[in-house]
Amino acid sequence: MDEDMLADQRRLVELIEDEGWDVTDLEISAYDSPWADEDDPEATVTITARKPYESDHDGGDEDDESPFRVK
């Protein structure tokens, strides 16, 4: 795997984490493009991240009638 690809992957993770996200999974795939006539490899980066958000309500669930909420 090309060091430039890994450096780009690290930079993407840094950008996401700087925005308050928690990276939970990361995958990079390097390949030669079947659609391009060039010999330069390409990469695909898949990043899974989570970020908790505070709830807009005061924590009371008396008005919450969602059938999907576990009580």
Q: Please tell me the total count of domains within the chain.
A: 1
Q: How does pLDDT run across 20-52, given as a tens digit for each residue?
A: 999 999 999 988 877 776 777 888 999 999 999
DSSP string, 11-64: HHHHHHHHTT-EEEEEEEEEEE-SS-----EEEEEEEEEE-----SS-S--TT-
The one-letter code for the residue type at 56 is: D
Residue 67 inside a domain? The answer is no
pTM, entire model: 0.65
Residue 56 inside a domain? The answer is no
Can you give the residue range of the structural domain that contains 43?
3-50
